[in-house]
Amino acid sequence: SQQGEEDPQALSIQEGENATMNCSYKTSINNLQWYRQNSGRGLVHLILIRSNEREKHSGRLRVTLDTSKKSSSLLITASRAADTASYFCATDAFVQGAQKLVFGQGTRLTINP
Amino acid sequence: SQTIHQWPATLVQPVGSPLSLECTVEGTSNPNLYWYRQAAGRGLQLLFYSVGIGQISSEVPQNLSASRPQDRQFILSSKKLLLSDSGFYLCAWTVGVIGYGYTFGSGTRLTVV
- Tens digit of pLDDT for each residue in B18-59? 999 999 999 999 999 999 999 887 889 999 999 999 999 998
pLDDT above 50 for B108: yes
Q: Identify which of B88, B98, B103 has the shortest CB distance to residue A99.
A: B98
Segments in A1-113 forming alpha helices (H): none
Given this model, what pLDDT does residue B102 score? 94
What is the tens place of the pLDDT at every residue in A64-97?
999 999 999 999 999 999 999 999 999 988 877 7
Cβ atoms of B32 and B74 within 8 Å: the answer is: no
A82 phi and psi angles, rounded to 5 deg: -70, -10
Provide the pLDDT for residue B70. 96
What whole-number distance in Å separates Cα of residue B36 and Cα of residue A31? 19
Instruction: Kindly list the residues of chain A whose beta carbon comes within 8 Å of any beta carbon in chain B.
Output: 1-2, 30-31, 33, 35, 40-45, 48, 50, 88, 90, 92-94, 98-106, 108
Cis peptide bond N-terminal to A113, omega within 30: no
Flag whether pLDDT at B96 surpasses 90. no
Residue A2 has pLDDT above 60, yes or no: no
Q: Would you state the pLDDT for residue A1?
A: 45
Q: Which member of B44, B96, B98 has the closest CB to residue A103?
A: B44
Q: Is B106 on the interface with A (CB under 8 A)?
A: yes
**B8-27: string of b/e by CB count within 10 Å (b at 16+)?**
eeebebeeeeebebbbbbee
Residue B58: Cβ-neighbour burial (10 angstroms; 0-12, 13-18, 19+): middle
Give CA–CA dist B57/B75, Å, rounded.
13
- pLDDT for the residue numbered A3: 62
pLDDT tens digits, residue range A20-69? Answer: 999 999 988 899 999 999 998 999 999 999 999 999 999 999 999 999 99
Q: What is the pLDDT, as a whole number, of residue B41?
A: 79
